[in-house]
Amino acid sequence: MSLSKWKEKFLIRLSYFVYNKTLNCPNSRLVRFYNLIQSLLIRYKNPIITTKFQNITLTRPLSHPLFIILRECPFYERILEGIVAHICDKYGKLSMVDVGANIGDSAIFSLIKGGSYLLVEGALEYATLIESNLRHNVKTRLYTDANPPHLAKRYYTKDYEGQEDQSFLVYGGIFLGEGDLSNYQLQLLENGSAKLIDRNTTTQQHNNTRLIAS
Protein backbone atom coordinates (compact mmCIF):
# COMPACT_ATOMS: atom_id res chain seq x y z
CA MET A 1 0.00 0.00 0.00
CA SER A 2 1.39 3.40 -1.00
CA LEU A 3 1.98 6.09 1.61
CA SER A 4 -0.83 8.27 0.21
CA LYS A 5 -3.36 5.42 0.34
CA TRP A 6 -2.25 4.50 3.84
CA LYS A 7 -2.65 8.12 4.93
CA GLU A 8 -6.12 8.29 3.37
CA LYS A 9 -7.20 5.09 5.10
CA PHE A 10 -5.82 6.31 8.42
CA LEU A 11 -7.68 9.64 8.11
CA ILE A 12 -10.96 7.86 7.40
CA ARG A 13 -10.55 5.52 10.37
CA LEU A 14 -9.56 8.40 12.64
CA SER A 15 -12.58 10.39 11.43
CA TYR A 16 -14.96 7.55 12.29
CA PHE A 17 -13.34 7.11 15.69
CA VAL A 18 -13.44 10.80 16.58
CA TYR A 19 -16.99 11.26 15.31
CA ASN A 20 -18.32 8.28 17.28
CA LYS A 21 -16.60 9.55 20.40
CA THR A 22 -18.05 13.02 19.88
CA LEU A 23 -21.54 11.60 19.36
CA ASN A 24 -21.53 9.18 22.30
CA CYS A 25 -19.08 10.51 24.89
CA PRO A 26 -20.83 11.54 28.17
CA ASN A 27 -17.83 13.50 29.45
CA SER A 28 -17.97 17.16 28.40
CA ARG A 29 -14.22 17.65 28.75
CA LEU A 30 -13.51 14.69 26.50
CA VAL A 31 -16.09 15.96 24.04
CA ARG A 32 -14.19 19.25 23.79
CA PHE A 33 -10.99 17.29 23.18
CA TYR A 34 -12.58 15.21 20.42
CA ASN A 35 -14.16 18.33 18.94
CA LEU A 36 -10.69 19.85 18.69
CA ILE A 37 -9.35 16.80 16.85
CA GLN A 38 -12.39 16.82 14.58
CA SER A 39 -11.90 20.49 13.72
CA LEU A 40 -8.28 19.79 12.77
CA LEU A 41 -9.36 16.91 10.53
CA ILE A 42 -11.97 19.11 8.88
CA ARG A 43 -9.43 21.85 8.20
CA TYR A 44 -7.00 19.34 6.72
CA LYS A 45 -9.30 17.15 4.63
CA ASN A 46 -12.94 17.03 5.80
CA PRO A 47 -13.26 13.32 4.93
CA ILE A 48 -16.48 11.79 3.63
CA ILE A 49 -17.91 9.24 6.07
CA THR A 50 -21.01 7.04 6.21
CA THR A 51 -22.66 6.69 9.61
CA LYS A 52 -25.97 5.52 11.03
CA PHE A 53 -28.02 7.16 13.76
CA GLN A 54 -31.28 5.59 14.86
CA ASN A 55 -32.70 4.24 11.57
CA ILE A 56 -31.09 6.77 9.21
CA THR A 57 -27.83 6.18 7.29
CA LEU A 58 -26.07 9.15 5.71
CA THR A 59 -22.94 9.66 3.66
CA ARG A 60 -21.67 13.14 4.43
CA PRO A 61 -18.61 15.27 5.15
CA LEU A 62 -17.21 14.93 8.66
CA SER A 63 -18.19 18.57 9.25
CA HIS A 64 -21.90 17.86 8.69
CA PRO A 65 -23.55 18.19 12.14
CA LEU A 66 -26.96 16.54 11.54
CA PHE A 67 -26.61 13.55 13.85
CA ILE A 68 -25.11 15.70 16.60
CA ILE A 69 -28.13 18.01 16.25
CA LEU A 70 -30.52 15.05 16.37
CA ARG A 71 -28.90 13.82 19.55
CA GLU A 72 -29.51 17.19 21.21
CA CYS A 73 -32.84 17.96 19.49
CA PRO A 74 -34.59 14.64 18.77
CA PHE A 75 -37.51 16.24 16.93
CA TYR A 76 -35.31 18.21 14.51
CA GLU A 77 -36.47 17.12 11.01
CA ARG A 78 -38.44 14.26 12.59
CA ILE A 79 -41.43 16.60 12.61
CA LEU A 80 -41.48 16.22 8.81
CA GLU A 81 -42.85 12.69 9.18
CA GLY A 82 -46.02 14.00 10.80
CA ILE A 83 -46.41 16.82 8.27
CA VAL A 84 -46.01 14.41 5.36
CA ALA A 85 -48.53 11.97 6.83
CA HIS A 86 -51.06 14.80 7.29
CA ILE A 87 -50.61 16.02 3.70
CA CYS A 88 -51.07 12.53 2.28
CA ASP A 89 -54.12 11.87 4.44
CA LYS A 90 -55.74 15.10 3.31
CA TYR A 91 -54.64 15.38 -0.33
CA GLY A 92 -53.78 11.81 -1.29
CA LYS A 93 -50.20 12.41 -2.43
CA LEU A 94 -47.06 14.35 -1.59
CA SER A 95 -44.93 16.54 -3.86
CA MET A 96 -41.98 18.09 -2.04
CA VAL A 97 -39.78 20.92 -3.31
CA ASP A 98 -36.52 21.24 -1.37
CA VAL A 99 -34.42 24.24 -2.42
CA GLY A 100 -31.08 23.99 -0.66
CA ALA A 101 -31.42 20.22 -0.36
CA ASN A 102 -27.95 19.79 1.14
CA ILE A 103 -27.25 16.02 1.27
CA GLY A 104 -30.91 15.11 0.79
CA ASP A 105 -31.69 14.60 4.47
CA SER A 106 -35.02 16.44 4.48
CA ALA A 107 -36.32 14.29 1.63
CA ILE A 108 -35.13 11.18 3.46
CA PHE A 109 -37.05 12.20 6.59
CA SER A 110 -40.09 12.76 4.34
CA LEU A 111 -40.06 9.46 2.45
CA ILE A 112 -43.53 8.12 1.80
CA LYS A 113 -45.13 5.81 -0.74
CA GLY A 114 -45.97 7.60 -3.98
CA GLY A 115 -44.05 10.75 -3.02
CA SER A 116 -42.48 13.04 -5.63
CA TYR A 117 -39.40 15.06 -4.67
CA LEU A 118 -37.68 17.94 -6.45
CA LEU A 119 -34.28 18.61 -4.85
CA VAL A 120 -32.06 21.57 -5.75
CA GLU A 121 -28.59 21.97 -4.22
CA GLY A 122 -25.99 24.42 -5.48
CA ALA A 123 -22.95 23.06 -3.62
CA LEU A 124 -21.66 20.04 -5.54
CA GLU A 125 -19.87 18.62 -2.51
CA TYR A 126 -23.33 18.07 -1.03
CA ALA A 127 -25.36 17.45 -4.19
CA THR A 128 -23.14 14.56 -5.28
CA LEU A 129 -24.00 12.71 -2.05
CA ILE A 130 -27.78 12.82 -2.52
CA GLU A 131 -27.91 9.66 -4.66
CA SER A 132 -25.90 7.68 -2.09
CA ASN A 133 -28.18 8.82 0.71
CA LEU A 134 -31.30 7.91 -1.23
CA ARG A 135 -29.87 4.44 -1.83
CA HIS A 136 -29.04 4.07 1.87
CA ASN A 137 -32.57 4.88 2.99
CA VAL A 138 -35.09 4.06 0.26
CA LYS A 139 -36.42 0.62 1.18
CA THR A 140 -36.88 -0.72 -2.36
CA ARG A 141 -34.70 -0.76 -5.46
CA LEU A 142 -33.81 2.71 -6.73
CA TYR A 143 -33.75 3.06 -10.52
CA THR A 144 -31.90 5.73 -12.50
CA ASP A 145 -33.72 7.50 -15.32
CA ALA A 146 -31.65 7.18 -18.51
CA ASN A 147 -33.22 10.32 -20.01
CA PRO A 148 -33.68 12.87 -17.22
CA PRO A 149 -34.54 16.54 -17.80
CA HIS A 150 -31.68 18.84 -18.79
CA LEU A 151 -29.16 19.49 -15.97
CA ALA A 152 -30.91 17.01 -13.68
CA LYS A 153 -30.64 13.44 -12.48
CA ARG A 154 -33.80 11.48 -11.79
CA TYR A 155 -34.29 8.39 -9.68
CA TYR A 156 -37.44 6.41 -9.02
CA THR A 157 -38.84 3.31 -7.35
CA LYS A 158 -41.49 0.87 -8.50
CA ASP A 159 -44.45 -0.64 -6.69
CA TYR A 160 -45.26 -4.35 -6.58
CA GLU A 161 -47.07 -4.06 -9.94
CA GLY A 162 -43.98 -2.59 -11.60
CA GLN A 163 -45.43 0.91 -11.86
CA GLU A 164 -43.43 3.98 -10.89
CA ASP A 165 -43.93 4.84 -7.22
CA GLN A 166 -41.53 7.39 -5.71
CA SER A 167 -39.76 9.94 -7.91
CA PHE A 168 -36.65 12.00 -7.09
CA LEU A 169 -35.55 14.79 -9.43
CA VAL A 170 -32.17 16.22 -8.40
CA TYR A 171 -30.54 19.41 -9.66
CA GLY A 172 -26.95 19.78 -8.43
CA GLY A 173 -24.40 22.55 -8.90
CA ILE A 174 -26.91 25.26 -9.75
CA PHE A 175 -28.39 28.05 -7.68
CA LEU A 176 -31.67 29.90 -7.97
CA GLY A 177 -31.47 32.09 -11.05
CA GLU A 178 -28.86 29.84 -12.68
CA GLY A 179 -29.35 27.00 -15.12
CA ASP A 180 -32.43 26.25 -17.18
CA LEU A 181 -35.41 25.45 -14.96
CA SER A 182 -37.87 26.99 -17.41
CA ASN A 183 -39.30 23.57 -18.25
CA TYR A 184 -41.12 23.54 -14.92
CA GLN A 185 -44.46 25.21 -14.34
CA LEU A 186 -46.23 25.49 -10.99
CA GLN A 187 -50.00 25.55 -11.41
CA LEU A 188 -51.99 26.48 -8.30
CA LEU A 189 -55.43 24.95 -7.90
CA GLU A 190 -58.55 26.36 -6.26
CA ASN A 191 -58.35 23.95 -3.32
CA GLY A 192 -54.92 25.28 -2.31
CA SER A 193 -52.97 22.37 -3.75
CA ALA A 194 -50.82 22.50 -6.86
CA LYS A 195 -49.46 20.78 -9.92
CA LEU A 196 -45.71 20.77 -10.61
CA ILE A 197 -45.45 20.13 -14.34
CA ASP A 198 -42.44 19.31 -16.51
CA ARG A 199 -43.51 20.70 -19.88
CA ASN A 200 -41.30 18.20 -21.73
CA THR A 201 -42.36 15.11 -19.77
CA THR A 202 -46.08 15.17 -19.19
CA THR A 203 -46.00 11.76 -17.55
CA GLN A 204 -44.15 13.30 -14.60
CA GLN A 205 -47.02 15.57 -13.58
CA HIS A 206 -47.58 15.84 -9.86
CA ASN A 207 -51.32 16.19 -9.48
CA ASN A 208 -53.35 17.60 -6.61
CA THR A 209 -50.49 17.80 -4.15
CA ARG A 210 -49.39 20.05 -1.36
CA LEU A 211 -45.88 21.49 -1.57
CA ILE A 212 -43.23 21.69 1.13
CA ALA A 213 -40.43 24.20 0.55
CA SER A 214 -37.39 24.37 2.77
Structural domain boundaries in the chain: 5-72, 77-172
Indicate the pTM of the whole model: 0.77
Q: Which of 47, 103, 41, 46 is nearest to 77 (CA)?
A: 103
Task: Tell me the pLDDT of the chain (214 aa) as tens digits.
Answer: 566 888 889 999 999 999 999 888 888 888 889 999 999 999 988 999 999 988 899 999 999 999 888 888 888 878 899 999 999 999 999 999 999 999 999 999 999 999 999 999 999 999 999 999 999 999 999 999 999 998 899 999 999 999 999 999 999 987 765 555 566 666 665 555 555 566 666 444 444 444 444 4
Cβ proximity of 50 and 84 under 8 Å = no
